[in-house]
């Protein structure tokens, strides 16, 4: 396949996002309304609030333009309100702090950024339940009637946040963070991965005994279905666990889930919300394509056969489909990747979502060698 589109995608990202950044100062965006970023500053603990920071750091790394760094640091400082809010902290701390303060520390060595990232890691480690060897997902402490309802819940998304814990062990030389991350990954292997390589979204444990009780359908279309973003979090999450631990079983696991994902990619290369959604349903989730592509590119690199690898080829197919069919390159609108879906049963589908742009950019940066590796 001709590779010119990769350089073109890189240039268009740079051109478009320069304009987007200039007009989006002070925002913490999630989606767009009429092409314009919304602003979640007043709902600062939302799990996606680090991704715009991640985009800004990827752009800063590639261009060294001061604007990107300044906006990213402003967003990082806003997240301090969440660091001081136990109810706002959850299993998604990697998404929020690895891409903001973690990136800041990697790029400049800033000490305050280091402390923020380590605090987030300590909080995430505190969510570990040694009875079931899992990291608890959501809170319920703010609602007296519901307290304890989520105590036994773990979700596949958490795999993508484990690198925050690996980072903390690498920095502090304290192995506890690493041990917690690896035990959680082992639990996911045991209870979340099906025979065919697909994964469940939500697992429920008895939080006192650790017994695995049941799975739930979550953001996919039904119990027993195959929510594509969940498959993507698992692919990328397991290869990242491999990169940090060098345990072969994590790479094998990433490959198994990726093989299942690849076998289900439609001819068009665009990805549905759920691989098992009803035949007439055409809803897509471009975020799943971008995340899975990032994971597959890392598998190809780790397995050592680069561009020849079936994982590299599949990633390129997914990314080319996004570039060719799902990117809005207009300089007037703020987001790039179209047709993203948060959850199958939500009222709205197929809109822009900030992490669709983040992972698309990260994937293109991987292909062009400009990535600031943040995981």
- Report, as residue numbers or ranges, the catalytic residues: 92, 157
- Closest CB to ligand GLY among residues 157, 334: 157
How many CA within 13 A on the CB side of residue 144?
Answer: 0
Binders of ligand GLY among 157-176, rule CB under 6 A?
157
x/- contact string, 293-332, with ligand GLY (CB under 6 A)?
----------------------------------------
Which residues face 37 on adjacent strands?
A: 32
Smallest separation, CB 124 to ligand GLY (Å): 14
Smallest separation, CB 182 to ligand GLY (Å): 21
Chain residue whose CB lies nearest ligand GLY: 157
Both tokens of residue 134? 């899992």
Which residues face 32 on adjacent strands?
A: 37
Q: CA-CA distances (angstroms) from residue 348 to 29, 229, 342, 343?
A: 17, 16, 8, 9
- Closest CB to ligand GLY among residues 229, 339: 229
Residue 93: exposure state from Cβ atoms within 10 A (0-12, 13-18, ≥19): buried
Gap between the Cα atoms of 236 and 254, Å rounded: 7
Gap between the Cα atoms of 141 and 147, Å rounded: 5
Smallest separation, CB 290 to ligand GLY (Å): 12
Output phi, psi for 328, to 5 deg: -100, 110
Both tokens of residue 199? 């994964």
Smallest separation, CB 273 to ligand GLY (Å): 11
By CB under 6 A, tell whether 342 contacts ligand GLY. Answer: yes
- Closest CB to ligand GLY among residues 254, 342: 342
Which residues face 202 on adjacent strands?
A: 155, 216
Binders of ligand GLY among 176-235, rule CB under 6 A?
219, 229
Q: How many residues form the binding site for ligand GLY (CB under 6 A)? A: 6
Binding site for ligand GLY (CB under 6 A): 47, 92, 157, 219, 229, 342
């Amino acid at each position: 396949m001709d590779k010119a589109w990769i350089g073109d995608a890189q240039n268009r990202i740079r051109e478009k996002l320069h304009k987007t950044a200039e007009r989006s100062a002070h925002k913490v965006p999630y989606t767009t309304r009429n092409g314009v970023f919304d602003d979640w500053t007043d709902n600062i603990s939302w799990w996606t609030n680090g991704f715009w920071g991640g985009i800004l750091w990827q752009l800063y790394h590639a261009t060294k333009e001061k604007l990107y760094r300044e906006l990213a640091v402003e967003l990082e400082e806003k997240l301090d309100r969440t660091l001081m809010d136990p109810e706002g902290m959850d299993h998604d701390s990697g998404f929020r702090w690895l891409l903001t303060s973690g990136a800041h520390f990697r790029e400049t060595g800033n000490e305050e950024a280091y402390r923020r990232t380590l605090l987030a890691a300590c909080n995430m480690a505190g969510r570990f339940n040694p009875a079931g060897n899992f990291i608890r997902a959501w809170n319920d402490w703010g609602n007296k009637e519901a307290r304890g309802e989520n105590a036994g819940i773990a979700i596949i998304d958490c795999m993508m946040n484990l690198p925050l814990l690996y980072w903390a062990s690498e920095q502090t030389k304290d192995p506890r963070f690493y041990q917690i991350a690896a035990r959680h990954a082992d639990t996911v292997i045991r209870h979340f991965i099906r025979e065919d390589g697909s994964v469940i979204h939500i697992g429920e444990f008895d939080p006192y005994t650790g017994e695995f009780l049941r799975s739930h359908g979550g953001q996919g279309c039904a119990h027993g279905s195959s929510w594509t973003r969940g498959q993507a979090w698992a692919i990328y999450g397991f290869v990242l666990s491999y990169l940090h631990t060098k345990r072969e079983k994590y790479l094998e696991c990433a490959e198994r889930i990726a093989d299942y994902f690849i076998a289900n990619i439609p001819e068009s290369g665009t990805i549905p919300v759920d691989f098992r959604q009803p035949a007439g349903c055409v809803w897509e989730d471009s975020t799943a394509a971008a995340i899975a592509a990032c994971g597959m590119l890392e598998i190809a690199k780790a397995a050592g056969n680069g561009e020849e690898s079936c994982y590299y080829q599949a990633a390129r197919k997914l990314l080319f489909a996004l570039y060719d069919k799902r990117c809005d390159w207009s300089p007037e609108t703020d987001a790039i990747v179209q047709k993203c879906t948060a959850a199958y049963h939500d009222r709205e589908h197929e809109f822009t979502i900030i992490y669709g742009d983040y992972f698309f950019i990260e994937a293109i940066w991987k292909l062009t060698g400009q990535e600031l590796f943040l995981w």
